[in-house]
Amino acid sequence: MIEISQAAIAEIERMQTVRQRLDTKLRVGFASGGCENFYYTLDLVDSIEDRDRVDRVGGISVSIDPQQSAYLDHLKLDYSEDLMGGGFRFENPLATKVCGCGNSFAMSSSESEHWQLPT
């Protein structure tokens, strides 16, 4: 299960309120790309895929593709603001390398090959 900080929960709830979509779920995942081979994805969705694993974290429904859940199970999601603006921050103990932007990461070479998308 992922962890979501109080600051991230507050920002997700703010986004739901601004969009007037209070029943949306947070879909967390990753895709091939970015400076370290993979990048995190966050989406507010109205419905979930039948195969998705759904957890309730701090009052937020979080959906994760079961094929990606093993790589996201210990992910910590935070939100912070600085002079450049606000943004979500990711801390994943399974990442072998993280880009300075904090949104792009690498996995071990065998896991990377498994997730490499065709170009």
Listed residue (59, 60, 61, 89) closest to 76, CA to CA:
89
Backbone angles phi, psi at 72, to 5 degrees: -120, -5
DSSP type of residue 118: P
Cα(67)–Cα(74) distance, rounded to whole angstroms?
15
The confidence score (pLDDT) of residue 42 equals 95
Handedness of CA 107, 110, 115, 119 (dihedral sign): positive
Cα(95)–Cα(75) distance, rounded to whole angstroms?
10
Backbone angles phi, psi at 2, to 5 degrees: -85, 160
All domains of the chain, ordered by start, with CATH?
3-115 (2.60.300.12)
Q: Taking the complete model, does pTM exceed 0.85, yes or no?
A: no
Per-residue pLDDT of the chain (119 residues; tens, 9 = 90+): 899 999 999 999 999 999 998 899 999 999 988 888 889 999 999 998 889 999 999 999 999 999 999 889 899 999 998 877 789 999 998 888 887 776 788 887 555 455 554 33
